[in-house]
Amino acid sequence: MQRILSTQLPARIGEPVRLAGWVHRRRLLKSVAFLILRDRAGLSQVVVTDPGVRAEVEAVGEETAVEVTGKAVANPAAPAGVEVVEPLVRVLGAPAQPPPFDLFRPELGATLPTQLDHASLSLRHATRATALRHSAAAAAGFRSTLDGLGFVEVHTPKIVASSTESGANVFSIDYFGRPAFLAQSPQFYKQMMVGVFERVYEVGPVFRAEPHETGRHLAQYTSLDAELGFVEDHRDVMAVLTEVIRGMVGATGLPAAMPAEFPAVHFTEALKIAGAAQDSGSGPADLAPADERAVGEWALREHGSDFVFVTGYPMAKRPFYTHPDPARPGYTNGFDLLFRGVELVTGGQRLHRYEDYVAALAARGEPLAPYESYVETFRHGMPPHGGFAIGLERFVARLTGATNVREVTAFPRDRHRLAP
């Protein structure tokens, strides 16, 4: 007999069935015992009256992997109106010890560090598993939106000869006796691939040796990167990003306030909204977390939007490949997208002329040599282009209301955590 899933039970009433999954919970009443079976689709109720089978059910602990054969019968009082009677239970994988915390309660009682120490077990809990399902859906929504827009998926090196973003927060690696680094982003490679496919994306790990332990930083996270050529300026990039976000949120089925167009404010306007003290001289070059919260509240209040673009960040805090705003010296065509008051996406238009790269590196006092194979791309005819990078874990955390990205990451890596 073919195994069926819990969700297929209502279609099998009156028939013999075979289920498999984990013993989620047992309720041992006087005249009857209930075994709640958990499979990848949900829960089913198994009713045990036979004394021999009952003895077996009493012997198997929660989280035992079992197979149950029996008969599906209608019972309006049971979940989904169906339960399994006259069961036979076969143990497929017995636990060596009981779980250190209960998985059948609505909330995981264990602290986050305990959950993370026992990740392969805590992830079985509905709240943790559901967050990871949302994560998979969001990544699928990212890809399908971009596939529909003619983007091509690429896979780029994670071991690089020089750090991509800056010298800081980079992991060193012994590469056949030579020094190398873990890529902090696929930035250079996705730009290089614009010359090949015009429009590319990558879903992959990036690595940051974050010295601080916060609820929004990880040493490894999944970056959803896209880059597109033949743009007018950063606004074409923002239009694609808006579609992508809509596709990602839609794929999860979770609610978020998204007007037809996301509001966008210039950096200088954002400072005013946030009421941030603007130095009369150079002024602040970035938004503080409190500023981002204030701008997020403004966007929801004034535009009914959980998302808001902040455009035109000052040159000082953006990477050297950022395209300046031709109309406003000192400012750039770089933007951030805030989601519920937290920076979720960084993007913008990039430089595309060889001489501009040479000048930009010189202006920062940086040598050209470490960037040689990247900058070579721009010697051979590159169109105006731009792109963005979305942190998957941060997106899912904001969307699900998790306060720490570790709650929505299967096996997080940080300064102190290298296992499991």
Residues of each annotated binding site for ATP: 208-210, 216-218, 343, 391-394
In 3D space, the residue among 247, 262, 222 whose CA is nearest the CA of residue 149 turns out to be 247
Selected binder of its own copies within 10, 16, 81, 93 (CB under 8 A): 93
**308-327: which residues touch its own copies (CB under 8 A)?**
none
Tokens of 48: 């045990």
| CA 108, 209, 159, 248 torsion-angle sign | positive
Q: Please report whether residue 413 would count as binding its own copies according to CB under 8 A.
A: yes
Distance from chain centroid for Cα 3: 32
Question: Between 39 and 297, whose beta carbon lies closer to its own copies?
Answer: 39
Q: Please report whether residue 333 would count as binding its own copies according to CB under 8 A.
A: no
**52-71: which residues touch its own copies (CB under 8 A)?**
61, 63-65, 67
Query: In the bound complex, what is the minimum distance in angstroms from residue 196's beta carbon to its own copies?
Result: 5
* Site size for its own copies (CB under 8 A): 96
- Binding-site residues from annotation for L-aspartate: 165, 208, 346, 350
Question: Between 47 and 180, whose beta carbon lies closer to its own copies?
Answer: 180
Query: In the bound complex, what is the minimum distance in angstroms from residue 164's beta carbon to its own copies?
Result: 12
Residues 184 and 165 sit within 8 Å (Cβ to Cβ): yes
Distance CA 8, CA 17 (A): 10
- Binding-site residues from annotation: 165, 208-210, 216-218, 343, 346, 350, 391-394
Residues 270 and 385 sit within 8 Å (Cβ to Cβ): no
Question: Between 45 and 156, whose beta carbon lies closer to its own copies?
Answer: 156
Residues 321 and 185 sit within 8 Å (Cβ to Cβ): no
Point out which residues pair with 199 in neighbouring strands: 228
**146-205: which residues touch its own copies (CB under 8 A)?**
147, 150, 152-161, 171-176, 178, 180, 182, 189, 192-193, 195-199, 203-205
Rounded to a whole number, what is the distance in angstroms from the first to the last CA of the chain?
37
Q: Please report whether residue 132 would count as binding its own copies according to CB under 8 A.
A: yes
Selected binder of its own copies within 95, 250, 263, 284 (CB under 8 A): 95
Q: Is 408 helix (H, G, I), strand (E, B) or coil?
A: helix
Question: Between 96 and 277, whose beta carbon lies closer to its own copies?
Answer: 96
Q: Please report whether residue 283 would count as binding its own copies according to CB under 8 A.
A: no
**101-130: which residues touch its own copies (CB under 8 A)?**
118-121, 123-124, 129
**369-388: which residues touch its own copies (CB under 8 A)?**
372-374, 376-384
Question: Between 174 and 279, whose beta carbon lies closer to its own copies?
Answer: 174
**238-267: which residues touch its own copies (CB under 8 A)?**
none
What x-and-dash track marks residues 202-221 binding its own copies by CB under 8 A?
-xxx-x-x---------xx-
Distance CA 141, CA 408 (A): 17
Query: Can you list the pairs that 139-142 forms with residues at least 24 positions away whose Cβ atoms lie under 8 Å?
Result: 139/203, 139/222, 139/224, 139/392, 140/251, 141/244, 141/247, 141/248, 141/249, 141/250, 141/251, 141/252, 142/201, 142/203, 142/224, 142/244, 142/247, 142/248, 142/390
Q: Is 381 left (phi over 0), alpha (psi -120 to 50) or beta?
A: left
Distance CA 229, CA 44 (A): 51
Query: In the bound complex, what is the minimum distance in angstroms from residue 248's beta carbon to its own copies?
Result: 14
